Amino acid sequence: MSKLTKEDLHFFLLKLHSLTGIVPIGIFLTFHLAINSLRTVGVRQYQFSIDLINNLPFLFGIEVLFIYVPLLLHSALGFYITFAGRINVRRYPYYHNWMYTLQRITGAVVFAFLVYHMGTTVVPKIYYGKELFDAAPFLIDAMNREFQTWGGRTLYLAGIFSAVFHFANGLWGFCVSWGVIVGPAAQRNAGVVFILFGLVLGLLGAATVVEFSLHPVPVAPSLAG
């Protein structure tokens, strides 16, 4: 490719924005919600999954490269895109304009939620270091505490549902932007499929929240440790 100009870079970054929303962030979200829903099967299974993940080799590198950097990039570009436009859904209240508007609102909600969520989970982990940080008991304890109050439950449900909406609708937007679905019928049908997908993901998240709220079972120190 010939020399990269500022104009090309703009296009490239926006493409990267929509791509990072799916790979890796969307995929991470799907696994995150699916794995956490193991909590509805039992605390042991849940704890086992946490231990498994936290004992992965090169975990920190994987997290930085596949979660933190793409998340920051996606968020920064997302805010840039949001502020480049002007929401007008009140004057033009069509379905997709609502989706456009909600996509921006949920993006901002998820961002705020992640500052809190990561601040209470990832930051202690980095702060204490791997040796001193026993992931499973710490995280399960923290979550048990969160879901004791309606404030915590509301916060997490808002975060989860916003993230799920943003991802499901983002999948649709990605498919249109990249030209995977072109015709009106294809766009409509894909919309239905992604709504169903979003409902399933939302259900997994909600089930986990309900389980934590009803049965805040404390855990013993790490199984694998």
Partner 1 sequence: MTRETIALKIKRQDAPGAKPYWNVFKLPYLPHANVISCLQEIQRNPVTADGKTVTPVTWDCNCLEEVCGSCTMLINGRVRQACTALVDILEDPIVLKPMSKFPVVRDLQVDRSRMFENLKKIKGWIEIDGSYDIGEGPVFPEKIREKAYALSQCMTCGCCLEACPQFTLTNDFMGAATFSQVRYFNLHPTGAMNKEERLEAVMKSGGIADCGNAQVCVEVCPKKIPLTESIAEIGRETTLQLLKNLVLK
User: Which residues are near partner 1 by CB under 8 A?
Assistant: 1-2, 6-8, 10-12, 14-15, 18, 81, 84-89, 91-92, 94, 96-97, 99-101, 103, 172-173, 176-184, 187
Q: Of 195 and 207, which has the nearer Cβ to partner 1?
A: 195
- Residue 178 to residue 88: CA distance in whole angstroms: 25
Exposed, middle or buried by CB within 10 Å (0-12, 13-18, 19+), for 33? buried
Smallest distance from partner 1 to CB 194, Å: 13
Q: Of 7 and 131, which has the nearer Cβ to partner 1?
A: 7
Q: Of 120 and 187, which has the nearer Cβ to partner 1?
A: 187
Smallest distance from partner 1 to CB 26, Å: 17
In sequence order, the 6+-apart residues with CB closer than 8 A to the CB of 61 are none
- Residue 207 to residue 225: CA distance in whole angstroms: 28
Smallest distance from partner 1 to CB 199, Å: 21
Q: Of 151 and 183, which has the nearer Cβ to partner 1?
A: 183
Exposure of 8 in the CB half-sphere (CA atoms within 13 A): 5
CB 104 within 8 Å of CB 171:
no
Smallest distance from partner 1 to CB 7, Å: 4
In sequence order, the 6+-apart residues with CB closer than 8 A to the CB of 218 are 140, 141, 144
Smallest distance from partner 1 to CB 128, Å: 41
Q: Of 173 and 205, which has the nearer Cβ to partner 1?
A: 173
